[in-house]
Amino acid sequence: MGEVVKRSYKYRFHPSPEQADQLNRTFGCVRVVYNRALDVRTRAWVVDRHRTTYVQTSAMLTEWKRTEELGFLNEVSSVPLQQTLRHLPGAFVAFWGKRARYPRFKSRKKSRASAEYTRSAFTWRDGQLTLAKMRSPLEIVWSRPLPEGAEPSTVTVSRDATGRWFVSLLVEDPTVTPLPRVDTAVGVDAGITSLVTLSTGEKVTNPRYERADRRKLAKAQRELSRKAKGSNNRAKARVRVARIHARIADRRRDLLHKLSTRLVRENQTVVIEDLSVRNMLGNHRLARAIADAAWSDLRGMLEYKAAWYGRTLIAVDRWYPSSKSCSACGQLNPAMPLSIRSWTCPGCRAEHDRDVNAAKNILAAGLAER
């Protein structure tokens, strides 16, 4: 019997004015503490080549609370402040491991507003959640049920750019168990015209949500640019732009979840390319289309769902010539421009659709690595 999977369930909620005020102050305090701790760590490394630990920043937080300048930190729960200090070392570990950029300071206007509460900072009773420093429970919209008997271990509250409030509950989910084994495997070739092409020959259409709303988004952005900075009208225009972005992101995420779940449920092995999306975004002609396809998000979903359900995900080398090789005889063509969508192998005379052929080669390469 394997370990029970911990899974986050995210819901909308509608705070009262008092709750919204308390949470907004908490978000601000989290941002201040994070930025000060990041500044301390950066200075210590640049000047002394010294790495600052969580314990040291936690002691600094205690001192900051005693000062007149930062006395307002005492007005909110201390747990979200401690949690942001705990997360900062992870950001540096990702940087040292070359998996992420150097941690950046949080901006009041641009950064995600969120606060994390552990078990000591909230009360969960009879399906109602009450956070520290609050008198009443949150009014949560229960769009789907939690697993029976679930008890949240961590609660994350956030507010997006459109003003929507969300609460994410981390619980143990005993319903997530390995699926029955199947004998199928599939190769997945990511693209732009087709979001993905499978080795079975199926092509999943790319809805291009950003392009569909591009005219509406451009109009909203023009209206925003005309508003006076600091005015209420500019704030309203900013929200209108944010709502369009949120609509695009929500629809894209929904599609990717459905696609990744289907691929994992129907196949024992899923083989993808190890694409460097960050480098590909340097192509200014295709950057917008690549970002709209969100290949990195799809890979992330496939990774954790494969782990959940006992499937295997294989990533083949990004330099593998999947488009240039014939999936029938293996002959390698010297060049294959993007403009060529179908071709005939000069060796075996097999006719290929470019993307289907690439997906078949990706599958074969992945199975050969096992």
Among the ranges 98-112, 140-154, 280-294, which has the highest mean pLDDT value?
140-154
Which one of the listed residues 116, 210, 292, 355 is annotated catalytic? 355
Contact 142, 11 (CB under 8 A): yes
Q: Yes or no: say if 161 and 242 are a contact pair by the CB < 8 Å rule.
A: yes
Contacts of 280 (CB under 8 A, 6+ apart): 286, 287, 290
The CA-based dihedral angle spanning residues 276, 281, 287, 289, taken in that order and rounded to the nearest 10 degrees: 20
Between residues 257 and 109, which one has the greater pLDDT? Answer: 257
Indicate whether 366 pLDDT > 70: yes
Tens-place pLDDT, residues 147-186: 988 999 999 999 999 999 999 999 999 989 999 999 999 9
User: Is 172 noted as a catalytic residue in this protein?
Assistant: no
Residue 273 appears among annotated catalytic residues: yes
- State residue 281's pLDDT score: 66
Confidence of residue 346 (pLDDT cuts 50, 70, 90): confident
pLDDT at 1: 46
Q: Are 275 and 315 in contact (CB under 8 A)?
A: no
The mean pLDDT of the chain is 91
Burial of 215 (0-12, 13-18, 19+ CB in 10 A): exposed
The angle formed by the CA atoms of residues 54, 60 and 63, to the nearest 5 degrees, is 150
Token pair for residue 183? 């004998």
Q: What is the mean pLDDT of residues 228-241?
A: 94
Tell me how far the alpha carbon of residue 340 is from its chain's centroid.
33
Reported as type and span, the H/E element at residue 27 is: helix 17-48
Q: What is the pLDDT of residue 14?
A: 97
**Which of 116, 210, 273, 292 is an active site residue?**
273
Residue-level pLDDT at 341: 86
For the residues of 31-77, what is the DSSP string, one character each?
HHHHHHHHHHHHHHHHHH--PPPHHHHHHHHHHHHHSSTTGGGGGS-
Residues recorded for the chain:
370
> One of 189, 202, 223, 297 is an active-site residue; which one?
189
Supply the pLDDT for residue 64. 96
Distance CA 295, CA 275 (A): 9
Give the pLDDT mean for 22-42.
Answer: 96
320-336 residue pLDDT tens: 888 889 988 988 888 88
Residues 121 and 79 sit within 8 Å (Cβ to Cβ)? yes
Spatial separation of the C-alpha atoms in residues 168 and 156, rounded to whole Å: 5
Choose among 311, 351, 354, 347: nearest CA to 332: 347
| Count of CB atoms situated within 10 Å of the CB of 343 | 17
Least confident of 80-84, 252-256, 275-279, 356-360: 275-279
Q: Residue 56: is its pLDDT beyond 50?
A: yes
- 178-206+254-370, CATH topology level: Nucleotidyltransferase; domain 5 (3.30.420)
* pLDDT recorded at residue 330: 87
- Where does the chain show beta strands of DSSP type E? 5-12, 113-118, 122-125, 128-131, 154-159, 165-173, 185-190, 194-198, 203-205, 269-273, 312-316, 342-344, 351-353
Residue 293 vs residue 285, higher pLDDT: 293
End-to-end CA distance of the chain: 25
- What pLDDT does 49 receive? 81
- Mean predicted confidence (pLDDT) in 355-361: 93
| Domain residue extents for the chain | 5-173, 178-206+254-370
**Inter-residue contact 291 to 248 (CB < 8 Å):** no
Amino acid at 68: E
Residue 279 has a pLDDT of: 67
Decide if 274 is catalytic. Answer: no
